Amino acid sequence: MEGGGGSSNKSTSGLAGFFGAGGAGYSNADLAGVPLTGMNPLSPYLNVDPRYLVQDTDEFILPTGANKTRGRFELAFFTIGGCCMTGAAFGAMNGLRLGLKETQSMAWSKPRNVQILNMVTRQGALWANTLGSLALLYSAFGVIIEKTRGAEDDLNTVAAGTMTGMLYKCTGGLRGIARGGLAGLTLTSLYALYNNWEHMKGSLLQQSL
């Protein structure tokens, strides 16, 4: 019986040594000086090499020949929609102001509420149509100029804004065309100046040094 128990213990210890459960144990102090050849330090929180967590490339795949930034054609939909919603909101507020002003002598009643609501709807639609039309003309001119010149810069913005103002005010004769073009030129020039303000400041600082 004892012989059988001894052979069983030997076989158990042999299997344990084969799978690494048995054998000599090493403390943390013994393993501290062992160099990790060909290995990188792991994160103390995740058992993952931190190099795989660093995104040094783009997180999306672009089609062949596509640009990394959206062009004027892609931005046209956002511009037109944004201008329409902005015009509708501004027109609604303006209509509410005008409605309250025109009906201030009336008592609060259903006719007054209907008149104020009509004014809000009318002004909202008017301003949405106006700003949406301007955005449509500006986007169309911008896309045409970009495709014609083959470049995208602030010159396209200024030219598109000037042509938009001229075409929008073309019903007012030469004077109206001049005023519309001047208004478009001024607004787009201020917009281009705002976009390049930081770059201009950096250039001025470098020249002063």
| Average pLDDT estimate for 19-37 | 49
At residue 33, does pLDDT exceed 60?
no
Check residue 121 and give its pLDDT: 95
When the pLDDT of each residue in the chain is averaged and rounded to a whole number, the result is 77
How far apart are alpha carbons 68 and 117 in whole angstroms?
46
| Average pLDDT estimate for 166-176 | 91
How far apart are alpha carbons 49 and 58 in whole angstroms?
20
The percent of residues in the chain predicted with pLDDT above 70, rounded, is 66
pLDDT-derived band of residue 15, with 50, 70 and 90 as boundaries?
A: very low
Enter the pTM of the model.
0.62
How far apart are alpha carbons 198 and 172 in whole angstroms?
38
Check residue 49 and give its pLDDT: 60
Q: CB-hemisphere CA count at 13 Å for 28?
A: 0
Check residue 160 and give its pLDDT: 93
The CA R_g of the chain, rounded to the nearest whole Å, is 36
How far apart are alpha carbons 73 and 147 in whole angstroms?
10
Stretch among 10-24, 134-148, 155-169, 179-193 having the lowest mean pLDDT: 10-24
pLDDT-derived band of residue 40, with 50, 70 and 90 as boundaries?
A: low
* Tokens at 149, concatenated: 């010149």
- The CA angle 29-35-37, to the nearest 5 degrees, is 150
| Average pLDDT estimate for 35-44 | 51
How far apart are alpha carbons 84 and 44 in whole angstroms?
53
Q: 142 versus 72: which is more confidently predicted? A: 142
Q: How many residues does the chain have?
A: 209
Helix residue ranges per DSSP H, the chain:
2-19, 28-32, 72-102, 110-149, 154-168, 173-195, 197-208
Burial class (CB in 10 A: 0-12, 13-18, 19+), 4: exposed
* Tokens at 182, concatenated: 């001047």
Could you read off the pLDDT of 103-155 as tens digits, one per residue? 888 888 888 999 999 999 999 999 999 999 999 999 999 999 988 988 888 88
How far apart are alpha carbons 29 and 42 in whole angstroms?
19
At residue 4, does pLDDT exceed 60?
no
Q: In the block, which residue shows the tokens 């329409």?
A: 84
